[in-house]
Structure 1
Amino acid sequence: MSQLQNRYDFVLLFDVKDGNPNGDPDAGNLPRVDPETGHGLVTDVCLKRKVRNYVTLSRPDAEGYDIYVKEKAVLSAQQGRAYAALGLKSAPAAEDDDTPDPEETPAKPAKGAKPAKDAKPAKGPKGKAESGRKASDRDQIDRARDWMCSHFFDIRTFGAVMGLKENNAGQVRGPVQLTFARSIDPILTLEHAITRMAVATQKEADSQGGDNRTMGRKNTVPYGLYRAHGFISPQLARQTGFAEKDLELLWESLRQMFEHDRSAARGLMSLRDLIVFRHESPLGNAPAHRLFDQVHVTRLHADKPPRDFSDYAVRLGDLPAGVTVLRPAA
């Protein structure tokens, strides 16, 4: 696959109507909110999950497009596939485990003994200071890491921490990074009482005398337009193998991710715009924040609360030289 040659920055606009875009489990699954401003939040992890789910749906058996972080996955077992495929022995301990490094943690002297002056690390059999990991172990980890990048789309896209004690595959810094999404205006969180005409157990039915009602709660946002930002580094893409074909799939996933994520809580979530800034230079032709500042999203009617995307206008300002705009969502 052809390597990525350009840097990209992008703005993602999506909205929700009468739904919960990203519930907070620490707050009774209420929509996430900035408590100081009242603006709604959607985590980057939530957005990446939808991309992963779309790739799983659209490329179920395609080689190189498996998903590492998926429902009910055992990550050490996922990494074990690399060890089995490469014929590697059982994995060494992770670099960040609790085993002391002999170069950093000198042995304690015996009780009453004075430490030697200018003590040096113990020498290995070839006269070199012993390190916490053999060169063969590092090579094994590197091979496993490269295998994982080539077989798992989300690893070569978003990166992964795979430095487990079992089947250690190191760490990968992904070329694609996403921010939290924040609503353009403060959101209103509503709580609704709901009734289910059934109960879970016979004991509940007996206690209600056959009425068989169960009360519950549902939390929604009447309307919210959210904005997230993304970054793509061609330098990191070369390290993970993220190529032009993967970039096309990323744009496709961002366009389609809400179309295949319907639920009672997220029935009306839609991608409204995807504005991509393509740099001519791999290092970039302008700072990302300058480009993002040229995307203006404004409310058309200040005297009433927004309830639809048509209540907003999206305008793009002037761009610096060397930057072009793509609209993959158009």
Structure 2
Amino acid sequence: MSEVIKNRYEFVILFDVENGNPNGDPDAGNMPRIDPETGYGLVTDVCLKRKIRNYIETVKEDEQGYDIYIKEDVPLNRSDNRAIEYIGLKEVNSKDLKKKDLGADLKIRDFMCRNFYDIRTFGAVMTTFVTAHLNCGQVRGPVQIGFARSIDPIVSQEVTITRVAITTEKDAGNKSTEMGRKNIVPYALYRAEGYISANLARKVTGFSEDDLELLWDAIINMFENDHSAARGKMAVRELIVFKHSKELGDCPAYKLFDAVDVKKREEVVYPRKYQDYTINICEDMIPDTVELIRKI
């Protein structure tokens, strides 16, 4: 594995959705998430991380060092047990088991970071080990992503659909179709912002240069192998990266984010495609020691 990253990064992701639901809200009948005060659409950080995890799992296929800790149908304790076995512990229910006696907490943390890409990247809360006396607590990951928000307010449309497959024999005698509904956003462009701490990578998880390149690849392609009828047409349109010259950075993150201006074109009333927006980066606002990289 390559060396640990030495530079701090910030990045901006622009992605869009067409005739789909990018992130349903289970508290609102799975309608697209929305800020009720402003009408802007939201996509949670958890949703975006799930796409990244799925891409890594697809590309690496459980290659050593690139397992995924949080994934569907796999209990966390099953992955935890691998760390237990690694330190040579067989009896995990002993009341006499003390972390200080084994010196095992750091060994477990290092094992989990070394073997699970998403722990090495995003961190994890690992207090669910099969014994309360043995866990490595919370691992703070170097990569953090905030909620994505739409550039303009969105309109959630409820579309009525029909199906010819009737559920029960009783209903089949009374009707030939059944009704259903789908919630979609006709079009929306979303913006998410993220941070990468070289300091946490060095001190905690060992997030490396190879891991970083894989992360960029995963962000760019996170919707390409995750298409579904419910989500419509989704794609990452821009990945704008700011690379600092040193571990702790050269300037506050907000100054770099403010340099990226995304606006709807003046002549457009109802945006329906990516070309209805303009993306401008004010390079005068970016210090000379910060490198601007447009991955797309």
Q: For the superposition of Structure 1 and Structure 2, which TM-score range results when normalised by the shorter chain? A: over 0.9
The secondary structure found in structure 2 opposite 1:55 is helix
Tell me which residue corresponds to 1:284.
249
The secondary structure found in structure 1 opposite 2:249 is coil
Structure 2 letter corresponding to 1:145: R
The secondary structure found in structure 2 opposite 1:286 is coil
Matches within 5 A, 1:20-169: 20-91=21-92, 134-137=99-102, 139-166=103-130, 168-169=135-136
Among 186, 189, 198, the residue aligned to 2:165: 198
Measured in 2, the distance between the counterparts of 1:298 and 1:92 equals 58
**Alpha carbons of structure 1 residues 92 and 286: separation in structure 2 relative to 1, 3 Å:** farther
Tell me which residue corresponds to 2:269.
304
Tell me which residue corresponds to 1:124.
none
Verify the 8 A CA contact 2:21 2:232 in the aligned structure 1. Answer: no
Query: Which one is further off, 229-238 or 295-304?
Result: 295-304
Structure 2 letter corresponding to 1:150: R
Matches within 5 A, 1:215-294: 215-238=179-202, 239-294=204-259
Measured in 2, the distance between the counterparts of 1:48 and 1:258 equals 12
The secondary structure found in structure 2 opposite 1:289 is helix
Tell me which residue corresponds to 1:11.
12
Verify the 8 A CA contact 1:88 1:140 in the aligned structure 2. Answer: no
Unaligned runs of 5+ in 2: none
The alignment status of 1:178 with 2:137, answered yes or no, reads: no
Verify the 8 A CA contact 2:16 2:236 in the aligned structure 1. Answer: yes
Measured in 1, the distance between the counterparts of 2:288 and 2:93 equals 50
The secondary structure found in structure 2 opposite 1:194 is strand
**Alpha carbons of structure 1 residues 189 and 150: separation in structure 2 relative to 1, 3 Å:** same
Q: Quote how far apart the aligned CAs of 1:256 are.
A: 0.5
The secondary structure found in structure 2 opposite 1:41 is strand
Verify the 8 A CA contact 2:80 2:129 in the aligned structure 1. Answer: no
Measured in 2, the distance between the counterparts of 1:285 and 1:170 equals 31
Q: Quote how far apart the aligned CAs of 1:92 are.
A: 7.2
TM-score by length of structure 1 reads: 0.84
**Alpha carbons of structure 1 residues 134 and 55: separation in structure 2 relative to 1, 3 Å:** closer
Tell me which residue corresponds to 2:294.
327
TM-score by length of structure 2 reads: 0.93
Measured in 1, the distance between the counterparts of 2:11 and 2:126 equals 28
Quote the RMSD (CA, aligned, Å).
1.6
Which digits, 9 at most, give the CA deviation of each residue in 1:153-203, with x for residues without a partner?
000100000112515332210000000000000001100111110122223
Verify the 8 A CA contact 1:64 1:150 in the aligned structure 2. Answer: yes
**Number of residue-to-residue matches in the alignment:** 287
Verify the 8 A CA contact 2:163 2:178 in the aligned structure 1. Answer: yes
**Alpha carbons of structure 1 residues 231 and 250: separation in structure 2 relative to 1, 3 Å:** same
Measured in 2, the distance between the counterparts of 1:60 and 1:235 equals 29
Verify the 8 A CA contact 1:39 1:186 in the aligned structure 2. Answer: yes
